[in-house]
Amino acid sequence: MNKKFPERLLIGGAIAANQAEGAYDVDGKGLNTAEIQPYLPNVPKTELHFNDMDSKTFEEYINGDYYYPKRTGVHFYERYQEYIDALAEMHCETLRTSIVWTRIFPNGDDEEPNEKGLEFYDQLFNYMRKKGIEPIVTVNHYELPLNLVQKYGGWYNRKLVDLFTRYSKVLIDWYHDLVKYWIVINQINLIHFEAFASLGILKDKVENYEEAKFQAVHHQFVASAKVTEYAHKLDDSLQMGVMLADSITDPMTPSPEDTLLCFKRNRMQYFYGDVTIRGEYPQYALNFFKNKQLSIKFESGDLDTIRTNTADFLCVSYYYSNVVDASKNSMDPADVEKNPYIEENEWGWGINPQGLYIRLSNYWDRYGIPLMIGENGFGYNDVLTEDGKIHDDYRISYTKEHLKSVFKAIEDGAEVFAYCYWGPFDIISAGTAEMSKRYGFIYVDYDNYGRGTGKLLFKDSFDWYKKVIDTHGSSL
């Protein structure tokens, strides 16, 4: 390209602790919701079975005779130095990772934090810094202490605001010298796709499931604002971010009906950013609740807390894009159609690099705060050749086109400070709990049942990404 990314842009990777660490029952850790997600080999790859969870399935998953991949992950807890070394060898500048709540508070409501858990992350962040890798830390990424689901009913219960805030304060107190960038909650807007993983609500335990989800996310808004307030008071150089999984859609056709429905649905996606960045519940959202007779309870002071503690930056994950068909007349964000103009991977994720340019530009135009790409990547069932190579030109091409889109958005004015490729080394899939949905530049030799040598092998994309980092984008 001959041009480089701006100096400030960090190029690196992102993982979630619950998909990598394993070690689910050591050093005082309690069980969390991710660790009851079974691997279900016979379920179609395009179906996610861990979302709309009812009590029956919940009990079955807790007590069932399944293999639970996230209990072992890729042994990051024991092997973190090897993984960080490999990332450092790729010249990775940043790694977004998360902290597992149950390492710190095993039941979520314990009196005292668990020192051993705190020490682990202290060592991890110190090691990353030693290797020149800037930590970007998500406080909560798709796991809740199991006890908080059983005893309180997840985020639907207001009590979670206090428990989460207390947990976050402990983290900020401990790590604020090591970690400057914090994302409070992973993909706060995915209350429809990832309802259980994100909110810990069992759908048969609440009277009105949709109302419960919006109430729960309100609690997350309030908690995020309180955590942001605390962090800024402690150290005003800390950057506190909100994260959205980009779910903006295009109309299926140019018909006024498709266009209108698409607009309305997209606005309800912007809702989460509008509350946490602009600091207000927008009128269109209040109308939406009223029309659907959803009654969301605000406690006195909530709206002030939200208004005065908005996010410093917006973290966006972007993988695919879909279209909306008005004849279905559905406002459910999970109800989407495939875009016939783009190709998709085995999991039905449609590849549309241009979408990233449009999304980033729109977020910038709407909010004007610094942006980071917290996740973007290509899941594929890679083939390991006999000579121990993985020729993943499909991944190179995906990443290259998406990075070019980041470049275009920056050229048009968007301020982007980090690009974190999802899963720079292979980890367990969040959606399907497979190991074989691989994203990495680094192959990790475990299979869907956790068997294998665990060796780390560099795929073809490893050298390619390293060059992108070394040339700060000019090799694209």
Which parts of this chain interact with ligand BG6 (CB under 6 A)?
A: 16, 19, 142, 186-187, 245, 317, 375, 379, 422, 429-432, 437
Half-sphere exposure (Cβ direction) of 350: Cα atoms closer than 13 Å: 17
Closest distance to ligand BG6 from the beta carbon of 272 (Å)? 14
* CA separation for the pair 80, 74 (Å, rounded): 10
Q: Which is nearer to ligand BG6, 279 or 423 (CB)?
A: 423
Residue 470 makes CB contacts below 8 A (sequence gap 6+) with 91
Cβ distance to ligand BG6 smaller for residue 73 or 108: 73
Q: Reduced to 3 states, what is the DSSP secondary structure of residue 277? A: helix
| Alpha-helix runs per DSSP H in 275-336 | 283-291, 302-308
Q: Which residue is nearest to ligand BG6 (CB)?
A: 431
Query: Cβ 430 to ligand BG6, closest distance in Å?
Result: 3
For residues 271 and 192, the answer to whether their CB atoms sit within 8 Å is no
**Of 47, 38, 40, whose CA–CA distance to 348 is shortest?**
47
For ligand BG6, the closer of residues 252 and 351 by Cβ is 351
Residues 471 and 180: their CA atoms lie apart, in Å, by 25
- Closer of 245 and 306 to ligand BG6 (Cβ): 245
CB of 19 to ligand BG6, least distance (A): 6
* Closest to ligand BG6 by CB, 47 or 235: 47
SS3 call for 350: strand
Task: Count Cβ atoms within 10 A of the Cβ of residue 8 and give its class: 0-12 exposed, 13-18 middle, 19 or more buried.
Answer: exposed
Q: How far is the CB of 16 from ligand BG6 (least distance, A)?
A: 5
Q: Which is nearer to ligand BG6, 46 or 295 (CB)?
A: 46
In angstroms, the CA 243 to CA 250 distance is 21
User: Smallest gap, in angstroms, from Cβ of residue 431 to ligand BG6?
Assistant: 3
CB of 350 to ligand BG6, least distance (A): 14
Sort 97 into a burial class: Cβ within 10 Å, 0-12 / 13-18 / 19+: buried
Q: How far is the CB of 146 from ligand BG6 (least distance, A)?
A: 19
Shortest Å distance, C-beta 130 to ligand BG6 = 26
Q: In 3D, which of 19, 177, 178 has the Cα closest to residue 97?
A: 19
Q: What's the min distance (Å) between Cβ of 435 and ligand BG6?
A: 10
Whose Cβ is closer to ligand BG6: residue 119's or residue 447's?
447
Q: How many CB atoms lie within 10 A of CB 348?
A: 13
Strand blocks (E) in 279-362? 313-317, 323-324
* Token digits of residue 436: 């074989």
Task: Pick the closer one to ligand BG6 by CB: 19 or 405.
Answer: 19
Query: What stretch of H or E contains 145?
Result: none
Give the nearer residue to ligand BG6 in terms of CB position, either 142 or 155.
Answer: 142
